[in-house]
Structure 1
Amino acid sequence: MEETNVSLKLLIDRESQRVLFAEAGKEFIDFLFHSLALPIGTLVPLFEKQGIQGSFGNIYESIKNLGSIYLQPSVNKDTLLRPKVHISGGGTGLPLLLQNIESSSTFMKLYSCPRSGSACDAYLAYDFSAICPSCKNVMNREKNMVDPPTPSASTERGYVKGLVTYTVMDDLVVKPMSTISTITLLNKFNVQEFGALEEKVVNLGMDEVVKILKASLYSKSVLTDVFLLRMSRPEEDEPA
């Protein structure tokens, strides 16, 4: 399967060997926000008061703090912050980072009770061996769930608006980028030698996606761990 061309522009401090922050477009921010829709995202509100290890909780806080003007009109913050998980045989996946991967089928199979015109019509199942809660018959009548129409070119998918560049911190805090905020960040990091700063563009594939998700659960320096340390010790990524 062919992956989309999603990239990050990292600002690296060579002296401290860390990623200060990254510039990212809509695709990467959509991916981060979409990660809350994974099953683990339902646990974040439970840990909100006690605190959560790593940087995953910062994605949650970034959504809470991001102004509504940056979100698509159809996006409801509550949907992201308190997602409802629907488990099906299709698995979860990461569609927002892999936008150009089209499913080989345009619908999924659903099943209903063979008794129509009754209270049984209120129930649907993913499995044809499911039992109807109303009449206890096997729900083996096949139905199809059709995908919504493909959005037009003028309709953006995802969570945040395009034509905006975002700052992604090493710990995955997300904010809209501006010249003033960049200068503030450089002062915050006490950067003395601008010659020690290096820009590096990295492309994201499924390997990097998995590493980011894993690192976000335990690390406060996700971008450094995934990109900078990996580049300095490439042998660690090699299979044993």
Structure 2
Amino acid sequence: MSSRNRHLKFLTRKACTMATTSTKKITVKLLVDRTANEVLFVEAKKDFVDFLIGLLSLPLASVIQVLGKEKMVGALGELYESIGKLDQTYIHSSVNMSRVLNTAAALTFTPSPPQSEAKVDAIKYYSCYHRCTPLEITTHQGTLCSYCRNSMETAVTLVGANGGGEVVKASSDGEAGFVEGVVTYMVMDDLVVTPLSTISSIMVLKKFNIENFNCVDELVVDIGMEEGLELLRASLQSKTVLYDVFLSKRASKSNKQI
């Protein structure tokens, strides 16, 4: 394996690590227009969106260097802009997304050595002064206690199993990452990310002039290290990232069989 491919795999592994601590592959559902042979959108959970944001957090100057000096016309700009537009409701409570995006922008121009792990600020917890029973805690300082209606301003430390007074990192779904896992996300072919809703999916179907739903296929794919590497390459070189990674090979195989 060349040093170039080894470095790309290291960077992709880092993005995957930032998306999930699990060794399981990421699973997404593609909605495909079979007639036009194009990706309408991807239905994805937090692990895939975390992976995409992880790409923005990589030392992109180093990525571009090892990929070569091809003209960069990829979809990272669209991804960057769409993540910046996500409502704070969808952002993990421990993440300062402005800091993540500003760091990503800086790394585009300033090469820096890859780091082994992402740094995430510890979550801070608060309770009310009266310590009502049962005790309520929140990650948002100033929230009103539902019992005494006083502001929850008193800092609380969650003690780990070893009794060491360590702050326990947690989220509403028990996982780390960049976004919350309580919703499903829509990812477009150019990596624009938005929360998935009935209205948003209908708008996309109208955009592609889909009148006959019989021509729409659902394709479930698993994303591991190799697929992650292909997504990284395509995101820097194309605005049809999902098609290039998941459909172009299928189209080539179909043409060969004809």
Category of TM-score, reference length = shorter chain: 0.5 to 0.7
**Per the alignment, do residues 152 and 168 of structure 1 end up closer, same or farther by CA in structure 2, a change over 3 Å counting?**
closer
More helix by share: 2
User: Deviation at 1:163?
Assistant: 1.8
User: Deviation at 1:232?
Assistant: 2.7
- 1:199 aligns with 218
Alpha-carbon separation, structure 2, partners of 1:234 and 1:75: 42
Structure 1 residues 171-190: aligned runs within 5 Å: 171-190=190-209
Q: Deviations for 1:205-225, whole angstroms, at most 9, x for unmatched residues?
A: 111101111101121111011
User: Deviation at 1:78?
Assistant: 2.0
Aligned-partner SS, 2:55: helix
Alignment partner of 1:160 is 2:152: no
Aligned-partner SS, 1:28: helix
Given that 1:72 and 1:161 are in contact with CA atoms closer than 8 Å, whether structure 2 keeps it comes out as yes
**Amino acid in structure 2 at the alignment position of 1:214:** R
Aligned-partner SS, 1:202: strand
**Amino acid in structure 2 at the alignment position of 1:74:** S
**Amino acid in structure 1 at the alignment position of 2:235:** S
Structure 1 residues 69-80: aligned runs within 5 Å: 69-80=89-100
Alignment partner of 1:12 is 2:32: yes
**Amino acid in structure 1 at the alignment position of 2:204:** L
Alpha-carbon separation, structure 2, partners of 1:93 and 1:172: 25
Alignment partner of 1:32 is 2:47: no
Any stretches of 5+ residues in structure 2 without a counterpart?
1-12, 14-21, 64-71, 119-165
Alpha-carbon separation, structure 1, partners of 2:188 and 2:61: 20
**Per the alignment, do residues 168 and 202 of structure 1 end up closer, same or farther by CA in structure 2, a change over 3 Å counting?**
same
Q: Deviations for 1:32-76, whole angstroms, at most 9, x for unmatched residues?
A: 111111011799xxxxxxxx7221111110121000110012211
User: Deviation at 1:94?
Assistant: 8.6
Given that 2:62 and 2:112 are in contact with CA atoms closer than 8 Å, whether structure 1 keeps it comes out as no
Any stretches of 5+ residues in structure 1 without a counterpart?
44-51, 96-147, 236-240
Aligned-partner SS, 2:92: coil
**Per the alignment, do residues 15 and 62 of structure 1 end up closer, same or farther by CA in structure 2, a change over 3 Å counting?**
same
Given that 1:10 and 1:202 are in contact with CA atoms closer than 8 Å, whether structure 2 keeps it comes out as yes
RMSD: 2.9
**Amino acid in structure 1 at the alignment position of 2:41:** F
- 1:225 aligns with 244
Alpha-carbon separation, structure 1, partners of 2:117 and 2:243: 22
Identity among equivalent pairs (%): 43
**Amino acid in structure 2 at the alignment position of 1:211:** E
Aligned-partner SS, 1:217: helix
Number of aligned residue pairs:
173
Aligned-partner SS, 1:10: strand
Alpha-carbon separation, structure 2, partners of 1:60 and 1:178: 21
Alpha-carbon separation, structure 2, partners of 1:75 and 1:33: 12
TM-score, structure 2 length as denominator? 0.60
1:55 aligned residue (55, 64, 75): 75
Aligned-partner SS, 1:216: helix
Aligned-partner SS, 1:233: helix
Given that 1:10 and 1:21 are in contact with CA atoms closer than 8 Å, whether structure 2 keeps it comes out as yes
Structure 1: which 4+ aligned runs deviate by more than 6 Å?
Answer: none
**Amino acid in structure 1 at the alignment position of 2:184:** T
Given that 2:92 and 2:171 are in contact with CA atoms closer than 8 Å, whether structure 1 keeps it comes out as no
**Per the alignment, do residues 152 and 188 of structure 1 end up closer, same or farther by CA in structure 2, a change over 3 Å counting?**
closer
**Amino acid in structure 2 at the alignment position of 1:19:** V
- 1:214 aligns with 233
**Per the alignment, do residues 190 and 214 of structure 1 end up closer, same or farther by CA in structure 2, a change over 3 Å counting?**
same
**Per the alignment, do residues 20 and 94 of structure 1 end up closer, same or farther by CA in structure 2, a change over 3 Å counting?**
farther
User: Deviation at 1:3?
Assistant: 3.2
User: Deviation at 1:87?
Assistant: 4.9
